[in-house]
């Protein structure tokens, strides 16, 4: 009985005296957090139902500074891409706003997204809505 008690006391002492290292949070900037390629599918944007999966539009956010990115939009059926530089990022309560000049052109938030097979999961959802005029507009919804 004394041997078991001594053994338990020894193990308890060794466990209590172990050196613990705290996990340090990583310091990522807002632009590093949102940078990446965002793709759409028919579940995220039903208006794309007639487009083959391999030719769906996509958007990429490329880091410029800590709080700004370049938006690169690849349209469907096109090898051309359009770039919008100097898009500012600002964190709101539950989302990140994308701003160009004085107007909001989109948002990023954690939400439920659907994969190309229709499975639901938690992911980062990018919504872009730019209305320059009736002929030049851009609407995109995609997941990272």
More confident residue, 114 or 37: 37
- Mapping DSSP to helix (H, G, I), strand (E, B) and coil, where does residue 72 land? strand
Alpha-carbon span 43 to 140, nearest angstrom:
13
* Segment among 25-29, 48-52, 65-69, 108-112 with least mean pLDDT: 25-29
pLDDT in tens, 3-21: 776 666 666 666 665 555 5
Alpha-carbon span 90 to 69, nearest angstrom:
11
* Confidence (pLDDT) at 71: 93
Is pTM beyond 0.85 here?
no
Question: Is residue 60 very low, low, confident or very high in pLDDT (cuts 50, 70, 90)?
Answer: very high
């Amino acid at each position: 009985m004394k041997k078991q008690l001594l053994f338990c006391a020894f193990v308890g002492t060794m466990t209590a005296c172990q050196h613990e290292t705290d996990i340090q949070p990583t310091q990522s900037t807002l632009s590093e957090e949102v940078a990446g390629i965002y793709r759409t599918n028919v579940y995220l944007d039903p208006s794309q139902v007639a487009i083959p999966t391999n030719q769906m539009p996509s958007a990429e956010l490329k880091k410029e500074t800590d709080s700004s990115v370049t938006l690169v939009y690849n349209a469907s059926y096109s090898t051309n891409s359009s770039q919008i530089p100097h898009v500012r990022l600002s964190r709101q309560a539950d989302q990140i706003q994308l701003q160009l000049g004085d107007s909001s052109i989109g948002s990023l938030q954690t939400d439920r997204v659907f994969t190309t097979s229709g499975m639901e999961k938690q992911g980062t959802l990018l919504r872009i809505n730019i209305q320059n005029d009736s002929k030049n507009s851009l609407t995109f919804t995609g997941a990272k």
